[in-house]
Chains A and B, each alone.
Chain A
Amino acid sequence: MKGNSVSVAVLAAVFVVGTFQLAAQSGAPEFGGVFSRSDAALYVAAGEVDSGDFSWTAASALELALRAGGDSARAEAAFTATVLNGSAAEAMIALATSMSLPSGSPFASGGALVVPLASDPASVLLLELRSLQLRLDLGEARLRAGRQVVNFGRGQAFSPADVFARRDLSGLSPARAPVDALRLSGPFGQFGGWDLVAAPRAEAEDGTYAARAWAWAFGVDGGLIAGRDGGRGDWLAAADVQFDLGATFRGEVLLRYSDSGDARVSAMAGLDWSLGDLLMGAEYYRNGDGAAGAVPLSGAPGAASEHYLFATLGWQAGDFASLSASALAELDEGLWAPALALTVDATQSADLVVALRGLADSGGVVSAALAATLELSF
């Protein structure tokens, strides 16, 4: 039987069993979401400054989440629909044109389905499924099947041990991308646990498979990972640790050992601490994995740099406002992406964020964006 047939059969079996269990259990479904609207003024340097360097973009997004189930089975889905206008929409339309797609045809980009809107040729609709998973309790263990975030790391911006969740640093805060996977988890006593995760691809041997054991003991959090990245032909071994000495220290190391005998090591070291109302953090990342381990700055594809730095500073500017500054730097290329954000808790379930972000190199500012975002949770 082909590998992808095995993967599909396993997933189908889990969903069938889970659906029966869900149907047999009562429990009111939980529904919620976030509506957000973001408007941004953009500047991209291109020789002498003129009006052509400036543009506007907007995004209206609706994220819906639904959870249902009972004591031993639960289903969860999270879906986002975003309407893009302005320069971001124009970039998507240009991408479709470069792919020689028929006008109005949907296409996939960055994990989202992009749908040009016939009613408004200057807009596109982005559809993204962030989570669609079924959870089954199997005695002490729990099985999760479907799209989910699998977090194997401890880093805020950089996490080489996080072999499943790609880091998205394009937003104001680092975020983990979901993956389609089967995950079996269980406890090691009160303070530890284990995970077995399979993220198969169309061909099972191209998937990523890993096991993690982790525990907290004597004030130290630690984890060990072993696995296989079939797509790249690498065996994986990783370790992570976190402990507190007034400041909180954390570190990760990942060894990739290829089928051809090539060994590459990546590592992260970081800490965070506070001083009065100031919260500070810093992380250093040593990329030993070339282009595959590179970090894109400000959404731009990164060069295969070896050394990166991330620093953040947060300040509670009042009872309902906070100010944060951060910078992501690619040390080899001299690129850095600073960001400054003011977050205001405007009213119950509503936040307003005003942010200034940029990308600069030794020659000066490459690009900048001033954005205002309103988020309403329900």
Chain B
Amino acid sequence: MKRIIFTVLAAVAGFAAFAQAAPTAAEILAKVDENENFSSIEYEGRMELTLGGKTRVKTMKAVAVGADKAYIEFTNPEDRGVRYLKLGDELWMYFPKEDDTVKISGHLLREGMMGSDVSYEEALESDSLADIYDAVVKGREDYEGRPVWVLELTAKKSSASYARQILRVDAERFVTLSADLYAKSGKLLKESRTLEVRLIGLRWYPVKVELSDKLRKDSRTSFELVSIKLDVAVDPKRFTLSELGK
């Protein structure tokens, strides 16, 4: 799973639908990337953080254009008005009470976004899977009652968030249903699972995804798209630093 936050929280989806026949991994990944390539998206989301049996809920409104531009505003009481702006590989955060805009860079990129299991580094990853990983099809199996293609992805770049990924892609709807994310040492770092898929227009989209951090005990973050609109008109000035602080 990639682009968790910004391309559909931003792509609660980072998972997307593919075409029916996917005989090679390269074709499957191309279709994944093609499916994620919406012109714009507007959604209301809900993020549920579970740590050690305790749960915290954060809600947000967001708009994104492609994978490079995204704007999120949190709406839950304790974070009301906190905003994020992603422009390419850069990220800014705005705190309304102090009228303060902070660039998320350097050491801050390793922090979890709003306390979630998604780091800012992961949220900023906007290259296509095919650009970052070499992929092979490992087989076809049943997963949670659905037929899936199993893909193994190996990082081409040292800058990739994970050295290896195992993806399970719905063989009929072509939605990624799970991803196991590994470190270079082979240690399982995170798991993501698609909990709900919905047909939106002609695309099957994952609308609820759960990510668990295997390095933290009983830690998981779920993202749910409460409402979603695709290919909506978006005012370009929304994606400016000046607008973030307004």
Q: Is A349 within 8 A of B78, CB to CB?
A: yes
**Binary contact readout A240-258 vs B (1 if CB under 8 angstroms, 0 otherwise):** 0010111110000000000
Q: Is A140 within 8 A of B56, CB to CB?
A: no
- Report if A51 contacts B (CB, 8 A): no
Which one of A42-50, A99-107, A189-197, A361-369 is at the B interface? A189-197
| CB-CB contacts below 8 Å: B18-58 with A | 51-52, 54-57
Q: Which residues of A contact B (CB under 8 A)?
A: 30, 32, 65, 135, 140, 142, 148-151, 165, 175-176, 185-193, 216, 219, 221, 242, 244-248, 272-274, 279, 319-320, 345, 347-349, 351, 377-378
- Report if B100 contacts A (CB, 8 A): yes
Contacts of A273 in B (CB 8 A): 106-107
Contacts of B108 in A (CB 8 A): 248, 274
Number of A-B residue pairs, CB cutoff 8 Å, is: 90
- Most chain B beta-carbon contacts within 10 A, residue among A148, A188, A219, A244: A244
Q: Is A151 within 8 A of B99, CB to CB?
A: yes
Contacts A150-B99, A248-B106, A248-B107; A187 near B237 (Cβ below 8 A): yes
Q: Which residue of A lies closest to B217 (CB)?
A: A319
Q: Which residue of A lies closest to B55 (CB)?
A: A348
Q: Is A140 within 8 A of B106, CB to CB?
A: no
Q: Which residues of B contact A (CB under 8 A)?
A: 51-52, 54-57, 76-78, 80, 87, 90, 97-100, 103, 105-108, 110, 216, 219, 237, 239-243, 245-246
A229 to chain B, nearest CB (A): 20
B163 to chain A, nearest CB (A): 21
Contacts of A377 in B (CB 8 A): 77-78, 80
3 pairs of A and B residues whose beta carbons are closest in the complex: A193-B242, A187-B242, A319-B51
Across the interface, B107 reaches (CB within 8 A) one of A140, A150, A189, A274, namely A274
Q: Which residue of A lies closest to B77 (CB)?
A: A377
A206 to chain B, nearest CB (A): 24
Across the interface, A320 reaches (CB within 8 A) one of B51, B80, B99, B106, namely B51
